A and B are shown apart, each in its own frame.
Chain A
Amino acid sequence: MSIRLSGVDYVHPNGQTALQGIDLTLNPGEQVAIIGPSGAGKTTLLRLLATSLLPSSGELRLLDLQPARLGSGDLRRLRSRIGLIHQSPPLPPRQRVVTAVLAGRLGQWSLARALVSLCYPLDIPGARQELARLDLGDRLFDRCDQLSGGQQQRVGIARTLYQRPDLLLADEPVSAMDPVLADHTLSLLGEVARERQLPLVASLHAVDLALKHFPRILGLRAGRILFDKSAGEVSEQDLTALYANESLTARQSEPANPAIARPVRCL
């Protein structure tokens, strides 16, 4: 089992409950898309899977380990095996693309190697290979702030692929790309995951892309799993229920009652 969540809740430090009673099991090589309205908890769920948050309650197992029970050294080793593609790529604007990609393996490199590579990039062919898959092979020595949003997002993906993780996570990995590029990039992610037998979990806001590229779809709404089905089984009703705007429908169906709106006075 690559991922196993049972009864996982997550409450943010400010008291906001972001996830409730999440049960999820993923086998090696399985690919899942998380869809749902914004604020549903997609990012929070991915951060739990990336061990950047720990569950408030419930059990979380990743790659047969329990992050909550690990010491800091073991946790670091586990983290270096998990690759998370961030929605807004966390690249320092003044860093060169090659350095940003090579930084993917900092968890595996010794400090000496990391420092030398900062002065002279030690694995230029490796970085070029990952970038070439994403059509950015010729931008190796440009600075990150010379790239467009979509290109930066692809550099972020190249970094995570270069990391060679055992578990691939992606938070809206194509949100800054045009439809053709987004399609191409998602195919590539699926291909890499199949090639390396990696479990892949990606959140997406475009339902059509999720249905096209992922065999399994997880519908998340208000911190709960609404459905967990194969892509073929997801129905129109499922999607309507997933994206229904509660406050809007509420206002339409029951006109505001003036008797309730008036403040109650206590004497």
Chain B
Amino acid sequence: MNRPSTHWRERDPAALPRALLTAILLLLLWPGLQLTEFRPQNLFSGDNLNTMGRFLSGFWPPASDAEFLHLLARATLETLAMATAGMALALILAIPAALAATRALSVSTLLSGRAHWLGRLLRYPVRMLLIVLRSIPEIVWALLFVRAVGLGPTAGVLAIAITYSGMLGKVYAEILESVDQAPARALLQSGSSRIAAFFYGLLPNAAQELTSYSLYRWECAVRASVVMGFVGAGGLGQMIDLSIRMFAGGEVVSILLTFLLLVLVADQISLYLRRRLA
């Protein structure tokens, strides 16, 4: 008779909260599917299947005439340039913001184990800024900037720079907090400045993660600049938009293959750098 009560007292105290959280997550998922009217069977209804079939049959062979390839190369370069310039601008804001927002370099945490209220007060606005920057999707910024600075890649670059600085800043700050803090703490403890502690204590631990995330984001920026092409920001997006409108399936496939190639290349670079930094 005594056993069950002992058993009850020995239970993992974290079990109930965890079970509740899982249940809540599952409950939230169901209305989500309802709200989005997720009905995969629509894809396979007779009519839609026919239209798709006709469009797809025009996909082969991929367009490969010299003039088209020349245009494709130009558009690819434009897209890459848009993504890269946008990322570079984003980094200029994201790096200082991440250093300001991260708790990893807090000297007061070193002293008392808890951040000083002043430090927390200063980190908060930076976090808010990062939230504001990334809360508006890049495509919305692109639409606004196309109005402001006219059609062309400038709008795309600005849109990527704004949204991505928010994302990069937030994730950089969190990566810095997630790696082993002991080396940087020890340096702060022996009188090093925060910047020096960052370079000698945090960066060696975080470099691999930071690089890999930045390259993944660059890959996303390439995709984003393609999407922004649809609203007039130039590059591959604008090109594929035209090709789809003209039902030029071959051209669409060539452009899609170019996407595939770009992502493959980004992935290889990421792999190589990760190995170098490992």
Contacts and interface: CB of A to CB of B under 8 A. Distances in A.
Interface of A: 12-13, 50-54, 72, 76-84, 86, 88, 90-95, 99, 103-104, 106-109, 111, 114-115, 118, 160, 163, 165
Given A54-B111, A106-B187, A115 B199 contact: yes
Interface of B: 107, 110-114, 180, 182-183, 185-187, 189-193, 195-197, 199-201, 204-205, 207, 277-278
A92 B199 contact: no
A83 B190 contact: yes
A126 to B, nearest CB: 16
Nearest to B113: A13
B111 A163 contact: no
Contact of B204 (A94, A114, A163): A94
Contacts of B186: 84, 86, 90
8 contacts: A53-B112, A76-B191, A77-B191, A79-B189, A80-B190, A95-B183, A109-B196, A111-B193
Nearest to B277: A94
A80 B114 contact: no
A107 B205 contact: no
A123 to B, nearest CB: 14
B107 A72 contact: yes
Which secondary structure dominates where chain B touches chain A? helix
A9 to B, nearest CB: 15
B189 A84 contact: yes
Which secondary structure dominates where chain A touches chain B? loop
Contacts of A51: 111, 189
Contacts of A13: 112-114
Contacts of B110: 52
A52 B114 contact: no
A92 B183 CA distance: 6
Given A76-B193, A92-B180, A106-B200, 6 more contacts: A13-B113, A52-B110, A53-B111, A84-B189, A114-B199, A118-B200
Nearest to A54: B111
A111 B199 CA distance: 10
A118 B107 contact: no
Contact of A103 (B107, B112, B182, B187): B187
Contact of A80 (B112, B191, B199, B201): B191
Contacts of A118: 199-200
B200 A99 contact: yes
Contacts of B199: 114-115, 118
